[in-house]
Amino acid sequence: MAAEAHSDAVHVINNLKEFNELAAAHKYLILDFTAVWCPPCKIIKPIFERLAREHTPPGGKGPLAFATVDVDEATDVARKFEVSAMPTFIFAVNGEATGVDVLTQAPPLDAPSVLKVDDGSGRLKAIQGANPPALYEAVKQVAKLAKAEGGAGAAEDAGSVEVTAEA
């Protein structure tokens, strides 16, 4: 069974098979690893859903897709991406967490957050914690990549924020 739709623009991934099907259908994936018992996950959920609606073309066609992964339900997917804290946002290209290029200055954060950066490329691979400025910027960058590849419906701008990319 393919990943079901959580909202009009957000898929729900229940297992590795559904992840692989979604990755085969969309080059770029923005994954929200969450848990029902996680208060920060509940806080950032509406922001993630709004970003998904803004950057997903009608019918969900195109190179970009958004999905949530409940770490207690889809343990195999959480293991694949070595998720150990929630919420964690993973930016996948062709099914792998290759990361996105982001800006390098950010306002101070009120909530604890970790930005995981690839040592070799300097690309943002994951955001651990509810960090709306980092999420906005990363989604904006992935949407630009998708739009450049013909992903109709990707919004021009998700808001202007800057992100500190520290490991």
Which residue in 3, 41, 69, 97 is the catalytic one? 41
Mean model confidence pLDDT for the chain: 77
Q: Given pLDDT bands bounded at 50, 70 and 90, which one contains residue 68? A: very high
Q: pTM, whole model, 2 decimals?
A: 0.74
Q: Is 56 annotated in the active site?
A: no
Give the residue extent of every domain in the chain. Answer: 4-148
Which residue in 38, 74, 102, 124 is the catalytic one? 38
Average pLDDT over residues 81-109: 74
Q: Is 41 annotated in the active site?
A: yes
On the question of pLDDT at 84 being above 80, the answer is: yes
111-162 tens-digit pLDDT: 555 666 666 666 667 777 777 777 777 788 888 888 887 654 444 433 333 3
| Correct CATH for 4-148 of 3.40.30.10, 3.40.50.300, 1.10.357.10, 3.30.450.40 | 3.40.30.10
Task: Give a three-class secondary structure readout of the chain.
Answer: CCCEECCCCEEEECCHHHHHHHHHHCCEEEEEEECCCCHHHHHHHHHHHHHHHHHCCHHHCCCEEEEEEECCCCHHHHHHCCCCCCCEEEEEECCECCCECCCCCCCCCCCCCEEEECCCCCCEEEEECCCHHHHHHHHHHHHHHHHHCCCCCCCCCCCCCCCCCCC
